[in-house]
Structures are given as structure tokens and as C-alpha cells.
Amino acid sequence: MTTRSLVERAGTFVGLVLVAIIFGLLVGPQFFAPTNLELMARQMAIVSIAAVGMTIVIVSGGIDLSVGSMIALCTVVIAQLLRMGVSPLFSALGAIATAALCGFVNGVLITQLRVVPFIVTLGTMLIIRGAAKGLGEERRIEAPQTWLNDLLRVTRGEALVPSGIWAVIALSILVALVLRYTRFGRHVFAIGSNERMARLCGVAITRTKIIVYALSAAFVGFAGLLQFSKLSVGDPTVAVGLELDVIAAVIIGGGSLSGGRGTVAGTLIGAAIMTVIQIGCSQKGLANWIQQIVTGCIIVAAVALDRIRSQSGGV
């Protein structure tokens, strides 16, 4: 890690500390109580894991607007599979596979039709949402209680952190490692930074991009699993607009929509900043509209600060 990227990450981290201090002062010391921190971790788990996947897409210079719809589809798929008597584990895997398939289709459409990712995933956002509603017959699907409902809940005695959060942490570390310690990871950065150079260097652009969208969608599938766990039903209307929170987390965390930049650690900090604002506002008793205005300001400020930072870096 260079000192430069350390500074870049620290910048976002400083932002998180500032936001936390401000709400700590507003709300009081109980804001930092372990139970409150755990509440925040649970709150941010769904956006975080989807945003970790989105980090790969954004580093490659793309974007995926269909993640909210994918999450809804996943909750419906799990509920339907459970009702059909499929075991909880295979229901969960089925949902993740469904999401990965959606991502695969996104990747194929983007690379084969040569339509920009924004448009393709704007279309699939509607298609997948429609599919979720069709599969869920336009209503909530009740499902039998299983251990899938406990992923974001503490069940065994003293364990403070639920298993779903451990999984988010483990998967985040995995993605960070893939981006840094595999050839695939470096190819993703190369495509995002300069696709023409990647082509010149013989990088398999089509294949890499399809893998990027499918892999990222698999993480969205996991987010869908957590969403189901929280709801305990399949809901085709859940997570509308969530893709914007997911993208915002990546951007606040230093990802660039023009590609080639972004880190998993930054993304997680970005998700944490948004969560601290949400929880802080609601615990302070501030209305939802204030939350939204504050979050919006943070997004613009984060990107503006980032721009100033990279300019002073002497590029």
C-alpha cells in the first residue's frame, strides 16, 4: 500500500469519524454503546455486501442499476423454494445463483450489444422487478421459519455479532484480496482505468466484464438472502431505489464512476457513514427528510473533496 492510497483511505475514514463524533455529541454516549454499534452493523449489512459487489463493477468502469430489483427477486425465490420444501441451504444457494444469472445476463448484454451499462441495467432493473412480481404473484410470499431468519439475529447467548455480519466481513475481505492478489483483479482495474490499454495488452475484455457483473450479482444475491432474513417473507416490492444507496456507498468510499478507482475498505466506510447518519438522525428524533438531505450533502461533499484531493496530488 502506498502512502498515497493510505491518505486516500484515511480521508474517508476521517469523514466517518467526524460524522460519528457529531452524532455522538447530538445523541449522547449511548450512541457508542455495543448494542447500538451492533444495531448499525445489522442495519448496514445489506447495503454493504451489495456495495462490495458494486465496487468491482465500478472499478471496471461500469455500473449496475438492477441490484435493488435483484434483491427483491432473491427474497421471492427463497420464499418460493422454502414453500416447495427445498432445504434452507439450497434455497439460499438458489437465490444467489438466480442473482448471479441476472448479472451474467447483464454482462452478456453489455458486451454483446455494446450498449452502455447504465442503459442495459436500467432495462434489466425493470425486467427483474417485473419477474420478481410475477414470481411472487404481486404479493408477499409467506415462508416457513428456518435458520435463514436468524442470519441477522443473535441467537446463542453471548455472541454479540450475528452470523450474517461475520459472513459480510469475510466476503468483503475475500473481494479485497481478489482485487489486489489475482490477475483477474488487476485486469478489472486495467479495464476501468483505460479499456483501450487493456485491449492493447491482450486482456480478455468481454470475458472479464461478464465475470465482473456475474460475480458482483452473486454478492447482491447474498444481500437478498440477508434481506429475506430480515423480512422473513419474500417481498417483490422491497429494496426499491436501494441501488442508489449502494452506488453512493462506493462513491463516498472513493470509487470513481469513470472507473479504475475504488476499494472495498473505502466502500465499507462509505456504507458506514450513511448508516451512522440514518441511525443518528432517527435516534435524535430527526425526521426522515432531514436524513435524506444530510445524506445527499455528504455524497456531493465526498466526491468534491475527493476531486480536490486528487488535484492537489499533482496529476
Q: How far is the CB of 26 from another protein (least distance, A)?
A: 38
C-alpha 53: how far from chain center? 6
> Strand pairing partners for 233?
142
Residues 207-266 that bind another protein (CB under 8 A): 260-261
- Per the listing, cell 456507498 goes with 249
Using CB under 8 A, pick the residue from 104, 184, 233, 294 that binds another protein: 184
Task: CB nearer to another protein: give 170 or 315.
Answer: 315
Residue 132 as a binder of another protein (CB under 8 A): the answer is no
Cβ nearer to another protein, comparing 297 with 308:
308
Contact assessment for residue 198 and residue 190, using Cβ atoms and an 8 Å cutoff: yes
153 part of the interface to another protein, by CB under 8 A: no
Contact region for another protein (CB under 8 A) — 31-39, 152-160, 185-193, 230-238? 185-193
Q: Does 182 bind another protein (CB under 8 A)?
A: yes
Closer residue to another protein in complex, CB, 146/193: 193
Among 25, 173, 201, 308, interactor with another protein by CB under 8 A: 201
| φ, ψ of residue 256 in degrees (nearest 5) | -115, 130
Number of residues that bind another protein (CB under 8 A): 28
- C-alpha distances (whole Å) from 9 to each of 1, 33, 151, 298 are 11, 26, 30, 16
Give whichever of 51 and 211 is closer to another protein, judged by the CB atom: 211
Binder among 139, 153, 180, 307 for another protein (CB under 8 A): 180
Minimum CB–partner distance for residue 201 and another protein (Å): 4
Query: Looking at 54, 168, 203, 210, which residue binds another protein (CB under 8 A)?
Result: 203
Among 29, 202, 241, 285, binds another protein (CB under 8 A): 202
Question: Whose Cβ is closer to another protein: residue 146's or residue 194's?
Answer: 194
Find all residues with CB under 8 Å of 245, minimum gap 6, and list them: 47, 51, 274
End-to-end alpha carbon distance in the chain: 19
Give the DSSP H or E segment for 233.
strand 233-234
Should residue 308 be labelled a site residue for another protein when binding is judged by CB under 8 A? no
Helix (H) or strand (E) holding 168: helix 163-181
Q: Does 204 bind another protein (CB under 8 A)?
A: yes
Residue identified by cell 454482462 is 107
34, 84, 114, 315: which one binds another protein (CB under 8 A): 315
Contact with another protein (CB under 8 A) among 16, 95, 190, 226: 190
CB 174 within 8 A of CB 264: no
The DSSP string of 29-92 is GGGGSHHHHHHHHHHHHHHHHHHHHHHHHHHTT---TTHHHHHHHHHHHHHHHHHTT--HHHHH
Residues forming the site for another protein (CB under 8 A): 2, 4, 180-187, 189-190, 193-194, 196-204, 260-261, 313-315
